[in-house]
Every structure is written in structure tokens, then in C-alpha cells.
Structure 1
Amino acid sequence: MDPESRLSALRDFCAERLGPQLAARYVDLARPGFALTAAENPGEAAGHSRFGGRAMLEPGTPWPTCDGFPLSLIAVLDADTLSPWLGDVLPAGTGLLNFFCLDAESEQHDPVSYDLMNKYGHYEVEVSSVIPARFAHAVETDPPARSSVFEPIPWAAKPGFAFPDTWDPAWNGFDVGPDADDMARAMPGNYVENQLTEWSERPGALDSEDMAFGRPQFPTGSSPMVPFGKDPNRYHHLLQLASYEEWSIGGDGGWMHWAIPTDALRIGDFGQAVPTPDIW
């Protein structure tokens, strides 16, 4: 099913439970994305999308570092393979997106990385990087010494639409309609979700621990931790990862996220991407 047909079915589903006007406002919050799962065979893989492995970089691209210490390749998204579902979210020819982070937790981590993470913290741009590579020019690149390399897990990508979670600032100012009470106006996300029975049956709605694009989920009840003073509603979600057997972001647990200003995404300026993790 194409994106427009899937979105129309989702709108009809919501209209039956919310009424057409509230459903239309709710569905306007939906963003196209993908649920990522381990591909069971090569034919299911979404191009070169995968957790771990080696970076896919254009020759001559500098390896990203934090104070001179190399970051580790965490994931690759094959944006060219995913782009038909995303519409105008991505500029044409984005290619491959390499997601790097300072590995301070895995069994491979170098003690220096732990010191650097204590210096900067998980939310600072110094500990993360997103580097694009044109598909025709990208080559698998060996990492420098002291950078972790995780066993690659190719991803299958199920397309759909992601909605903001309950505490996302996307709900700020959301119109719940004239008949809603003060509690509904104060917590519009909860109000709408309570009205939508058979939540798991929403056609095309994404619900996954690992997700590309769409909108982030924050189990701690938080919201995207973008740089201080910036409006999170002006950022677009890039990638959400739960912990893997070889890798986690630290704390007692957590999900890693990357986000980027929407204006920067439209022109392919991935140097403005930032880490927005949810740590508990």
C-alpha cells in the first residue's frame, strides 16, 4: 500500500473513534517512518541498512572523533532505499547515513571513552555524529584503532506512520475540541489515546523499539532533549535504537536517538544532527 492510501486508511480508522475533525488534527501529527527489525534473510534487508558493521564512507571522509578519540559506528541507514516512503522529508540522492557515537559502555570500549563521556555527557554534540555518503561513492571503511566494531545485523524496514508520544511537545497547543474538559486540554496526548480503542489495530501506525525517521518514543516520559533554547518541534527524528547485546548507551538502560533541525534535513546538512537519548 502506498503512503497516501495507508494514511487515508489511518484517518478513517481514527475518524470512527474521534470524529472527523479531531481525527484530522491528530493524523496531521503523523510522520512517515519505519519499524526496524533484524532481517531474517538477505532479501528482506532494506538495502544496506543495519546495526553495527563498518562505516560506509566516501573516500577521503574524515573519521569523526571526540577530542581526537574516534567515535564508533553504531548503524547505517540506506536513505535511498527508504526515501520513496518518506516523500519530501529527505533530499534526493542522500545515499547512506552513518550514525556514530562514543562507545563508553560495551565490552570493547576504551577507558578513555568513559572519561570523555563523563566530560561531555550523552546529550552533547561532541559524542555523536551523522555522516552521509553518496551510494555510488561509498565504500566499507575500516575504523581507526580504539574504535569499537559491532557484529552487523541487517535490518528489515516496515513502513508506516509514527505519532508523538504522550509527553512530546508536538502536543503543545493541540485542539482537543470544544467538548473536552480541562484535564483533556492539559494532557491532550492522553485524551486522544484514551479515545482510540483497539490502539494496536491502527492501520499503518508504527510501534517499535528500533525506528527510522517518524517520531521518537521516550519510555521515561521525557521529550527530545535538543540543545538548550531550541524548539524541539523544529527538529526531525532520524533514528531510535534500543540496547543491543553488544552495545548500550549507559545508565540502567536507555534508548538512543538522533535528531536534526528540519530545515537542515531538507538540504542534507547532517552536520547539524544531534544526539537526543532517553536514559533511565
Structure 2
Amino acid sequence: MPGVEPTTTRAALHEFCTARFGAELAARVVSLARPGFELTRAAPGEAAGNSRFGGRPLLEPGTPWPTCEGVPLSLFAVLDTDALAPWLDGLIPAGTGLLNFFYLDYDSEPCDPAAAEVASKFRWNASELGAVIAARSGHAVEVDPPARSSVFAPIPWAASPGFTFPDLFDPAWRTPWAEPDDYDEDIEYISNYASIHNLDPDNDWTSRPGAIIAENLAFGWPIFPTGSSPFYRNGEDPNLYHHLLQLSDQDEWRIGGDGGWMHWSIPTKALRSGDFSQAIPTPDIW
């Protein structure tokens, strides 16, 4: 992505917020901005490296295929972080390469019949149901999936960079301002103003520098259409995690009940160290 420069965009975002909220609140709001990418179907020659929905994984030779109780997980997407790294400003280690996103497909048309029974033993966000496997770009090869794994038609992705903010219900809005149980009018006003769920036609938040409003999203902050926020087992603080990928409904796959969006997240410390074995699925099912 030639010419991409996050520092200039962040500075323009700070000016935008200062004009609306004042200098003190603007600094706090911009501190929540996270770099991310809107993912859209790529025209020929516009793909962000090997980034794509579906297809076959790109793994280093000898990498075992992830499974859950003997049922192979299915590849949902690949992100080429070498193509995205300039905008991420050191968030991930240099040379991370390709991230392969897996989940147990138990509801799509091509899913293995045994997958639903296996999935019923776990919560939807159990670490056993998903995996994110990194592969160095110069070593990765396309791998044929095992017979019981779903394969979705590949859709190359273009990646448009910008900055995202937490959605209305994310607890991250409260952390820079007040104690968890305190009510603060500034928090209420800013989070409502900035939320993508705010339908006020006079709200100009979508015109901010680096704005992203995306159904398919790499990094940044996740969107949960059910009006919730990331939920982690054992009461873990969601602010200690970083979002990796948001995948909206696709023609070829579905997840649970009437539908849902897939997400994968990772502890921020693990992301910065390149330990993707700690990544977990955090789907939003309705």
C-alpha cells in the first residue's frame, strides 16, 4: 500500500476531535483509536498480498492441521501481515508473514456431520474451536485440507487502512475516564457520538480522518451487531485483548442459530510477541 502514512492521519484525527470535544477529551478519545483495515473484494491487481477469504491455507511445511476432538477445523481466511504492516506501526513483530484463521465449521452446507456434535460440547468462544496459525511468507506453501474440512471458494481482499473505535457497548470507553461503577457524562456523550450504532443524521463522525465502517475488518476494534462486546472466559478483561479479524456473513458459510459474525482475538502481549497460539475465537451469534 504505497503512500500509506498513519502518523499524518492520526494527527488529522486529533484535530478533528479537538474541534468537537476540546483538547482534553480529544486526547483521550484519540488514545482509543486503533489502526485497522476495511476488507473488500479485490479487483485484479489490488489484493493486499495473499489476504483472502476462504481457499486453502498457506502454512510452513510440517505444520499440523488444527483439529477439535478429531474433527479438522476449516480455513476461513488468510491475512498477509507483510502487506499490512506499514499501517500497524509496530503492533506485530516484523516478518510475521501470513495469518491463517481456522474455526470448526459446524453449520455451513459443506460441514462434516460430526462437527455439530463436537461443537455442542463447548461454548462458542472456546479456544478448542479455533486457531490462528502464522507462517513466514518465504516458507509458506498452499496446503490441501483433510477430507472432513470445509473448503470455501477464495475471495481476494483489498485492504483500506484507517482507524477504528470501540462500539457503543465496549467497556473500553470507560477505562480512560472513570472508575468502572462511576457515571460520567463525557463518557456517555462521546461513546454515543462515536458509536456506529448512532443513527443521528447530524452526526458527522463518519467524516473523520481515517474513518472505517466495515463488515469485514482486520485488526482495529470489533463490531458486535447483537449489541454486546467481546466476552472472554474466566472473567478476563477484554481491554487486555486485541482484535485480529472480523468476518461478516458470506454466501458460503454461516455460524449458529439465525447467523452470526466471526471474530478472532488475542492477548495484546501475545500479539506483540508473535505468539498466535494464544489467539481465540470470539464470535457474535444471534
Return 5+ residue gaps in structure 2 as ranges.
none
Cα distance in 2, alignment partners of residues 262 and 143 from structure 1:
30
Counterpart amino acid of 1:2? E
- What corresponds to 1:31 in structure 2? 34
User: Percent identity at matched positions?
Assistant: 61
State whether residues 33 and 212 of structure 1, in contact with CA within 8 Å, keep that contact through their aligned partners in structure 2: yes
Superposition pairs for residues 151-166 of structure 1, below 5 Å?
Answer: 151-166=153-168
Q: In the aligned structure 2, how far is the partner of 1:139 from the partner of 1:53?
A: 13
1:222 equivalenced with 2:228 (yes/no): yes
Give, in angstroms, the shift of residue 258 of structure 1.
0.3
Cα distance, 1:40 vs. partner?
Answer: 1.8
Within a 5 Å distance, the mapping from 1:54-203 to structure 2 comes to: 54-175=56-177, 183-185=185-187, 189-190=191-192, 197-203=203-209
The residue aligned with 1:242 is 248
Query: Is the CA contact (8 Å cut-off) linking 2:52 and 2:77 kept in structure 1?
Result: yes
Please, what TM-score do these two structures have when normalized by structure 2? 0.92
Gaps spanning 5+ residues in structure 1: where? none
Structure 2 distance, partners of 1:109, 1:245, is 14
Amino acid corresponding to residue 18 of structure 2 in structure 1: A
Residue 206 of structure 1, CA deviation: 1.3
Equivalent residue letter for 1:244: Q
Give distance in 1, aligned partners of 2:150 and 2:236.
Answer: 32
Deviations 1:179-236 (A, max 9, x none): xx85555675125557993122111021100000001111111111122221110100
4+ long deviations beyond 2 Å? 172-176, 181-188, 191-197
Shift of 1:278: 1.0
CA drift at 1:120: 1.1
Q: Does structure 2 conserve the Cα–Cα contact (< 8 Å) formed by 1:209 and 1:241?
A: yes
Kept after mapping to 1: 8 A contact 2:165/2:194: no
CA contact (8 A) 1:236 1:262 kept: yes
Q: How many residues align?
A: 275
1:71–1:127 CA contact under 8 A, matched in 2: yes
Give the superposed CA RMSD: 1.8
- CA gap of 1:39–1:204, structure 2 versus 1, over 3 A, is same
Shift of 1:172: 2.2
Q: TM-score, length-normalised on structure 1?
A: 0.93
CA shift, 1:164, in A, is 0.6
